[in-house]
Chains A and B, each alone.
Chain A
Amino acid sequence: MHELSIAQNIVEIIHARVREDELANVRSVKLRVGTFSGVVPHSLKFCYEALIADTGLNHSRIDIETVSFVIKCSDCSKQSNVDNGFALCPSCGSRKTMIVSGNELDIVEIILQENQAEHA
């Protein structure tokens, strides 16, 4: 399953943006995952946890904001929450729709706790 490859990308991004000596302070990595992204959230969590075990990131977890699949019709301008991938406007039947949300696969932010040593 490709969630492992996605999790590897997340770990690489964290390493690129967080100093090595701060990795142990990473507590949560917030993701935005659309229901039409092709990624299964609990599989992604499973793969991430497997990857970070026994590494400097092993105090971190991923938090996933799920975004539902919404399309907008160019003909009647209505926005509709439809089954994943469906392209026909449920209001007027038009084929001229565009995806408003639901295909996101983003890393939003990384949250670190403060270094305990700074408060010693």
Chain B
Amino acid sequence: MSIVTIERKILEKNDAIARHNRDLIASKDIFCINLISSPGAGKTSILEQTLVYLDGTINVQIIEGDVQTDFDARRLERYNVPVVQIVTNGGCHLEASLVADAMQSLDFSGLQLLIIENVGNLVCPAAYDLGEAVKVVVTSVTEGEDKPLKYPLIFKNAGVMIINKIDLLPHLSFDLELLKRNALSINPSLKIFETSCGTKQGIAEWCEWLAEEVFVQA
């Protein structure tokens, strides 16, 4: 019997590509976020409202990940920003290699904010570093206060949580403070925003934070 000692992380290859992505992004003073949520929480809608609010004051490009179709890329292109669509054809998460390939299509001159919208999935994307500065997890008030406890990995690995669809609160028996307590019990340093794409509530605060991070990165 012979033993080959390895003692390495299984996702070492992804991590190495992610580090390369991160170095490339940082070398150009770009702030990059990885937007993650379950399907239907409102990632694309939040991005639409973000682009409306920023109104071209920040140079944004988007890498859009979906299992099928380019529907989301086409929605976002209407706001006059370059969007690179990744279709995974069944893949349940984005990996660093897919982002590295997509980055070849970006125009880096003047780029300040790179947004990666991940495949709608609260489980698998949590485990994959893409090279972002921060993971942003979106949850909505129609999803249950216990989401952070049921899906702790993404809430632990995220730096920001957006609670979306807050305009629906009067119609729901949803305990917003319980959701926040649950999230903070997993990640005490989580920064929390509350938004509604319908009423635009909270969009300004979210966008101002993005702008501050872009400014700090530059």
Residues of A in contact with B (beta carbons under 8 Å apart): 1-2, 5-6, 9-10, 12-13, 17-18, 27, 31, 36-39, 83-88, 95, 105-114
Nearest A residue (CB) for B152: A85
Measured in the bound complex, the distance between the Cα atoms of B10 and A31 in whole Å is 9
For B171, list chain A residues within 8 Å (CB). none
Docked-complex contact B2 and A112, CB < 8 angstroms? yes
Nearest A residue (CB) for B153: A38
Measured in the bound complex, the distance between the Cα atoms of B183 and A87 in whole Å is 10
| Interface size, chain B (Cβ < 8 Å) | 33
Of the candidate stretches B36-44, B52-60, B185-193, the one touching chain A is B185-193
Q: A2-B92, A37-B127, A85-B156 are in contact. Are A109 and B3 (CB under 8 A)?
A: yes
Docked-complex contact A105 and B156, CB < 8 angstroms? no
Question: How distant is B8 from chain A, measured CB to nearest CB, in Å?
Answer: 6
Q: Is B9 an interface residue (CB 8 A)?
A: yes
Measured in the bound complex, the distance between the Cα atoms of B128 and A109 in whole Å is 23
Measured in the bound complex, the distance between the Cα atoms of B9 and A31 in whole Å is 10
Question: How distant is A6 from chain B, measured CB to nearest CB, in Å?
Answer: 6
Residues of B in contact with A (beta carbons under 8 Å apart): 1-14, 91-93, 95, 123-124, 126-128, 149, 152-153, 155-156, 184-188
Question: How distant is B4 from chain A, measured CB to nearest CB, in Å?
Answer: 4
Docked-complex contact B156 and A87, CB < 8 angstroms? yes
For B123, list chain A residues within 8 Å (CB). 1-2, 38
Docked-complex contact B187 and A87, CB < 8 angstroms? yes
For A84, list chain B residues within 8 Å (CB). 152-153
For B1, list chain A residues within 8 Å (CB). 27, 111-114
| Complex partner residue of B124 from A2, A13, A83, CB under 8 angstroms | A2
For B185, list chain A residues within 8 Å (CB). 86-88
For B152, list chain A residues within 8 Å (CB). 36, 83-86
Docked-complex contact A85 and B10, CB < 8 angstroms? no
Most chain A beta-carbon contacts within 10 A, residue among B4, B6, B127, B188: B6
For A88, list chain B residues within 8 Å (CB). 185, 188
Docked-complex contact A6 and B10, CB < 8 angstroms? yes
For B156, list chain A residues within 8 Å (CB). 36, 85, 87
Q: A10-B10, A13-B6, A85-B153 are in contact. Are A2 and B127 (CB under 8 A)?
A: yes
Docked-complex contact A106 and B3, CB < 8 angstroms? no
Q: Please name 24 pairs of A and B residues whose Cβ atoms are closer than 8 Å in the assembled complex, sorted by A.
A: A2-B123, A2-B128, A5-B95, A6-B10, A18-B4, A37-B153, A38-B153, A39-B127, A85-B149, A85-B155, A86-B152, A86-B185, A88-B185, A95-B188, A105-B10, A106-B10, A107-B6, A107-B7, A109-B5, A109-B7, A111-B1, A112-B1, A112-B2, A114-B2
Measured in the bound complex, the distance between the Cα atoms of B4 and A111 in whole Å is 6
